[in-house]
Amino acid sequence: MKHPILSYVLIPTLLIFGSSCTSPRTIIASGKVTPKGAFKAGINTSFNIATATVAEIAPVTRAAVNAINNNKDTIFYNETVAAVTRGLMAYALDPVTPTYDFYLRYGVLKRVDLGYKYASGAHVLNVMFQFLGSTGKPDNPGKAKGMHGSIGFQYSGQNANLPSKVGLDQLRAIFRYKLSRRDILIPLVFSTPFGPEETYGNFTFGIVYGHSFIEYGFNPSKLLVRYMGSNYQQIPSFIYKQNYSSIGIVLNAKLGYKYAYFLPALSIYHQNYGTYNLFGLQQESYKGVTIIPSFGLQLNWGSNKKKGKPKEM
């Protein structure tokens, strides 16, 4: 026999999972790092398209909107709730959403640059090491010709916030949910320059390894229960941890002249997100492909004084 408020469990599950964290995985770096003493700054806009989320999220929004319009103190768990929770977890892991980022990079050594990025709420730190190709500037090119190659390391961390959509952010104190993630990326990229030292830009291709660490759970102030025969039993609060790997390919281009460039890019990742324990009542597994097209603008500046030809290793 169905209880009339069975579907209201959608409210806490939406609060747990509906406010998603997006891993910053757009790669716009070329094989040539920022020259020593020079800067790069820019902005990118992208769109995160995850097949696992697309398959699960369609029925969730309609059910969540209906549930949020009601005000009940007791929330019940059933098979319908389990199906909706599966979709919400998929959305939390890898949402279908537009993203943006702002970044600044500085060449600290001849073959090493450091960068900071603010990406849709995530703080990102990264370093790139150039092992192949010349290290000069357009006004002071090196002797080496041909391709450039670099390998890097990126770390990002973020905590989810309740979305403002349909007023869910007003319920933060009621459900006291937690969802956070930490991500690392290791890109290996090669690029062909357009002109000396990428004067007119470049074309880049490469592969990326990623690893994500997820912590999720909630501690509601309202009562969440399930049926136990003719009685009800409270479902306790929980916090769980999970991690998974991903592998991707990246393509990007830089088109412009010396100081200003347009940057179209495409990243494609495959990941097995793993298995997630939800409320101690269900376990859900996910895997899929994520496609991230992006477009950006980059400005370059730094000392262009000629101090002799740069020595190549």
Write out pLDDT tens, residues 299-310: 999 865 555 555
CATH architecture of 24-51+97-218+240-302: Beta Barrel (2.40)
The model's pLDDT over 259-294, given as tens digits with 9 standing for 90+, comes to 999 999 999 999 999 999 887 778 999 999 999 999
Q: Cβ of 231: how many Cβ atoms within 10 Å?
A: 8
Note the pLDDT of residue 54: 82
Domain boundaries defined on the chain: 24-51+97-218+240-302
Note the pLDDT of residue 126: 97
Say what percent of the chain tops pLDDT 90.
Answer: 50
The model's pLDDT over 44-78, given as tens digits with 9 standing for 90+, comes to 999 999 998 888 766 665 555 455 445 456 666 76
d(CA 56, CA 204): 34
The answer to whether residue 140 scores a pLDDT higher than 50 is yes
